[in-house]
A and B are shown apart, each in its own frame.
Chain A
Amino acid sequence: MVKERSRLTARDCGAFAGFPGLLRRRPVASPPAHACLLATALVLLGAAGGLRAAPFVPTDDAQVLERLPWRAGDAAARDLASLRAAAASASAPLAAAVQLADRHFDLALERGDPRHAGYAEAALARANGERTAEWLTLRGALRQYRHDFDGALQDFEAALAKDPGHAQAHAWRGAVHLVQADTTRARQECEALRRLDRPALAGACEGLALAYSGQLDAGTRALEQALSAASSAAQRSWLLTRLAEVAAWQGRAQQAEARYRAALAMGVESVYLRTAWADFLLDTGRPEAVLQELAGQEAADSLLLRLAEAGAVLKRPEAERWRRTLQDRYAAARARGDTTHRAEEARFELRLRGSPPTALRLAQENYAVQREPRDARILLESAVAAGQRAAAQPAIDWLQRSGFEDRRMRELAGLTATPAPSTGSSPGHSAR
């Protein structure tokens, strides 16, 4: 059981700004008051020893132990409470449970807080009545969230058996196939979305299916078409993010940057967008910008990893503390049997702990389940660093087969020639 976090919170508190030796650099954003109170208590408790707090009995009833991420009076909390009440009675319709679960899942994604995903699944499990396509699709999406891809596909299939025109089930199924690099099956879902007259979804689906099979120009065109059909800021932000990624794979840094900036300017909150943007900045050699853009955003593991990488490159004093915090969090996830973070942990092992063999093992385990371009990249990087390029053979095969043109990845794979246009006849391979 790790106590690292409490001690670190203490270091960041404004109240400790003048405490000699404790705070080396004033943080941009101060943590909430409760953290300081708690941290104060813990620092005082642990001041003598190794700061590994033991259970303690507070003496003051007014002492704040925890600050909840909601307040009873919040609009969102009231919203949630009324949904919960509607779903609570034994005679409540299934749709009420689906609505409650839907809201929880939304909160899980908005805040990156997995507890809400657990609440969502439990709300679905409690529901009575015949399972609808909506119920099945939502459960499938939640299973996908915890990487139970087979279970998710079963749910989407059952949903589509009930309602063949359920666009969300098609879109999710396409997403799972893409995660597993099964572009043929994914394309079938894109076509279904096209038939259902959902141009934005269909374009997004097709664009990524094309991009993942190496046809980056065609993929860009499809994503651009989806962008012009998109109706909301959130849709446009997401599509711009993916377009930026495709441009970066093609080595068009200026275009990628313009698209990332356009997506950021829309102001739609997305951990994914900030993660991808930080990766782009790291890849283009701008770690200072990462520290600026992500300052204070340590709650989400993926953002903390980028901060830690940038901090390590720049030899910042906080880097070591970020590194240890991440290590504790990965250990905590491992302790509960959670394997959803393996690709990220591989990157951590490779870039921050300097342990290529461990990174390679994690990247291989991840690649057995997830095979998107970023998964291929970490597998290649780890294998090359560990001096076992052959261990990345599945990723090299994919690069050769698809002609995926990311220069960095092709160099790692030992495929230095520009790929032939992906007509399927002769993927470029200069090594032999």
Chain B
Amino acid sequence: MTPATLPWHALWRWLALCSLVVGQLWALPALAHKASDSYLALRIQGSEVTGQWDIALRDIEVALGLDADGDGEIRWGELRARHSALATWALAALALDRGGRCTLQVSGHAVDEHTDGAYAVLQLSGSCPAGAGDLTVDYRLLAEVDTLHRGLLKLTLDSADHVAVLVPGQAAPAFAAAPPAPLESFTSFLVQGVWHIWIGFDHILFLVALLLPAVFERRARRWVGVARFGQAAREVIAVVTAFTLAHSITLSLAALEWVSLPSRWVESAIAASVVVAAANNLRPLIGGRRWMVAFGFGLIHGFGFASVLSELGLPPSSLAWGLAGFNIGVELGQLAIVLVFLPLAFALRHTGLYRHVIFTGGSWAAMILAAAWFTQRAFDLSW
């Protein structure tokens, strides 16, 4: 390690020179300079622990003293003489916990070479009270001696692999055996939610059919483009909020298995909702209360989302996280559609393209397509 602020270290030196006489420089061609690390490899299968721990001889020398004859060289005999002290010292600095404190012994000693010199190798074995669950690793080697020391952990816990940098004296990290953490299921369901609204063509079609007239207002039985963006935005917000609220309610009720409806019924009603929304554009009956349509049919769409969610398989351990993630994902996906739709529709609202092709043509197309879905779903036809 060569910190890149070297010139400033030199500055420190000449500040320090006020009080210190420069010691003579040792002309020792040292090995690479590197901060102190130990290498801890642990393998835990059920309650059985095996492992290997490599600790630098230089570090052991500082903590325990190895160089018995003071000649500046550490020999195998000197290390061998300190093996039991080494084992006691090292094991006191490592605590594994799986359903309670695991026992640990040093079952063998060897030597190895790393980039910065020779290491003592401690072979570890032991057993834990429990054969399943999380494992915590409390690491305190050299905590009082070298604040830059780190333990580089490679852990195999049942079938899960972990690597971690252990900082002596910091809260012992816990490693999960297998099931995903709440955050992981939250994010993965969030992505699923976004994905589902984007590929769920019937939901998009319903939303768009309701939003198409948002840039218009009804004057003398005719659609006229609104004057201000705010008007259109207000309408969009009302529709989207009502739809969101409604489908969130039924999605939660269904996911928690408090209410359940037959899926054929739900799917048919979703198709019908598109027909109604599109027909209302062509021959307005509902007037300015499209948000009520959004709310009413939103309740049905929520059941549709719930069936997707149950196919994905919500893990019981993180049900709430998964549900929240999926629901927020649906909203985000929906929001993305609205953010693209609204400015475009507003910009084009006075054009013939929007009025005749997109609005009228689109509504007809949506209605016909949804009517076909309805027939197919309600009468269980396959074609």
Contact = CB atoms under 8 A, between A and B. Distances in A.
Contacts of A375: 4
Given A55-B111, A333-B1, A118 B15 contact: no
A5 B14 contact: no
Given A38-B113, A146-B3, A335-B152, A113 B118 contact: no
B29 A32 contact: yes
A117 interface: yes
B36 A115 contact: yes
Contact of A328 (B9, B12, B115): B115
Size category of the binding interface on chain A: 35 or more
B330 interface: no
Nearest to B60: A66
B58 interface: yes
Interface stretch (A216-224, A270-278, A311-319, A421-429): A270-278
Interface in A12-53: 29, 31-32, 34-35, 38, 42, 53
A272 B7 contact: yes
Given A56-B111, A69-B26, A329-B34, A106 B20 contact: yes
Contacts, number: 266
A225 interface: no
A417 to B, nearest CB: 30
Nearest to A332: B115
B17 A234 contact: yes
Interface string A56-73: 111011111111111111
A12 B62 CA distance: 29
Given A68-B72, A118-B149, A370 B5 contact: yes
A22 B231 CA distance: 82
A31 B39 contact: no
B352 to A, nearest CB: 42
B70 A112 contact: no
B71 A5 contact: no
A193 B11 CA distance: 14
Interface in A314-338: 325, 328-329, 332-333, 335-338
B148 A55 contact: no
A137 B125 CA distance: 45
Contacts of B118: 38, 65-66
Interface residues of B, number: 73
B15 A275 contact: no
A283 interface: no
Contacts of A72: 67, 70-72
Contacts of A270: 10
B148 A106 contact: no
Question: Which of A79, A121, A126, A301 has the most CB atoms of chain B within a 10 A radius of its CB?
Answer: A301
Given A204-B11, A238-B10, A271-B6, A329 B115 contact: yes
Interface string B21-37: 01111101111111111
Given A56-B110, A111-B33, A340 B1 contact: yes
Contacts of B34: 114, 329, 332-333
Interface stretch (A168-176, A286-294, A385-393, A400-408): A168-176
Given A1-B39, A5-B114, A328-B115, A146 B148 contact: yes
A366 B4 contact: yes
A33 to B, nearest CB: 9
A282 interface: no
B124 to A, nearest CB: 13
Given A55-B52, A333-B1, A341-B2, A70 B113 contact: no
A112 B12 CA distance: 13
Interface in B343-363: none
A258 interface: no
Contact of B6 (A55, A204, A275): A275
B54 A299 contact: no
B53 to A, nearest CB: 11
B76 A272 contact: no
Interface stretch (B139-147, B214-222, B277-285, B316-324): B139-147
A296 B35 contact: no
Nearest to A99: B19
A35 B113 CA distance: 11
Nearest to A267: B25
Nearest to B69: A72
Contacts of B77: 61-62
B110 to A, nearest CB: 4
Nearest to B23: A76
A72 B13 CA distance: 25
Contact of B2 (A112, A241, A325): A112
Contacts of A141: 12
Contacts of A117: 35, 148
Contacts of B36: 114-115, 118
A296 B117 CA distance: 17
A398 interface: no
Contacts of B147: 118, 121-122, 125
B76 A60 contact: yes
A110 interface: yes
A175 B7 CA distance: 9
A3 interface: yes
B57 interface: yes
Contact of A301 (B1, B114, B150): B1
Given A62-B77, A301-B32, A333-B34, A6 B3 contact: no
A126 B144 contact: yes
Given A5-B31, A102-B20, A64 B149 contact: no
Contacts of B121: 55
B79 interface: yes
A65 B8 contact: no
Nearest to A370: B4
B10 A338 contact: no
Given A1-B39, A141-B12, A338-B35, A73 B70 contact: yes
Given A76-B23, A338-B1, A1 B114 contact: yes
B16 interface: yes
B257 interface: no
A308 interface: no
A34 B73 contact: yes
A109 interface: yes
Interface string B47-77: 0000010100111011000010011111111
Contacts of B117: 66
Interface in B297-342: none
B43 interface: no
A262 to B, nearest CB: 16
A114 B33 contact: yes
Nearest to A30: B29
Given A144-B8, A234-B13, A336-B150, A55 B58 contact: no
14 contacts: A42-B113, A56-B110, A67-B74, A68-B67, A69-B26, A70-B26, A109-B10, A111-B33, A112-B2, A114-B3, A114-B35, A172-B12, A238-B7, A238-B10
Given A1-B54, A119-B145, A299-B30, 10 more contacts: A1-B114, A65-B118, A72-B70, A118-B145, A145-B5, A241-B10, A271-B2, A333-B35, A340-B3, A344-B2
